[in-house]
Chain A
């Protein structure tokens, strides 16, 4: 089986911060040009949409950043003993947990 990294978690605060900075930059740029910048208006709409979402708390996780690194080798090397192990993506640093059960064993909780 192939395992692919989905990237690090993206939190609401980070997205908001990024969008706000872009809006400010484009507004300034637009003002220098003597009009309203259409791109900054679009970004502002995005920010409003994000705020409308229920996940407005800064620490709320709103998705994965996307990475695509192949983790197959790393996960295949994890022992299949029913224990929890941690993986770390060498490309993006995403960390998570893996548990593998052997083919011929079952564990009762």
Chain B
């Protein structure tokens, strides 16, 4: 049985800032998810678990059509769908559980609509990179760190490489951490991480040593470059870890 796509997971870092002053990066935080699907239209949300034990509070934070940020906290009700009626969101910024999920929690558009995010068992939050970041009078560059992990129990991913597979707004470059499983931080998200080579979507970058053994992780720094006074964007990026199995 080779390493399959589902074995290669993405996780957040210990420090994922919500401003330009806080510590950024650090070690992997497997409770944090960084996968979100954009809302096709502004909407209110609902959430449901596939495990009756999930009755903890869930807080969903997002942007309203006006641009302001709003949050709403609702207690989950296990297998019964709960609504988050207070805010019609233009985008979700983060969703945070009071406790780690026992089952898989699905956050979706109201009325059983499109899924925005799922929180797998053991996860406690999901978030968007570059939370509440905006362009400034001059060009602005910010950095955040995510991790890719080989979750296969025994097999090594050979010729392991990461690449940026989608960047519709053309504002992203990525760079592997200089060592696997690292915990490097930067003072804030406007500080460039040391020893990292950032490349655009035209290049795939091999992970250090060229292989990712079972349970090994690689930090991937993500650079967001906004032009001076750039207009607001609602976009995403996709980062792929790929390789071969011996």
Contacts and interface: CB of A to CB of B under 8 A. Distances in A.
Interface in B200-218: 200-208, 210
B203 A106 contact: no
A4 B161 contact: yes
Contacts of A105: 194
A75 B191 contact: no
Interface residues of B, number: 32
Interface stretch (A11-19, A26-34, A45-53, A91-99): A91-99
B200 A97 contact: yes
B11 interface: no
Contacts of B161: 2, 4
B202 A1 contact: no
A95 B202 contact: yes
A3 B173 contact: no
A7, A8, A95, A96 — most chain B CB neighbours (10 Å): A96
Given A99-B173, A109-B141, A109-B142, A3 B192 contact: no
A37 interface: no
A5 interface: yes
Interface string B187-204: 110111111111111111
13 contacts: A1-B205, A2-B206, A3-B204, A6-B203, A7-B202, A80-B197, A96-B201, A98-B199, A99-B197, A99-B198, A101-B195, A101-B197, A103-B194
Interface of A: 1-9, 64, 71, 75, 78, 80, 82, 87, 89, 94-109
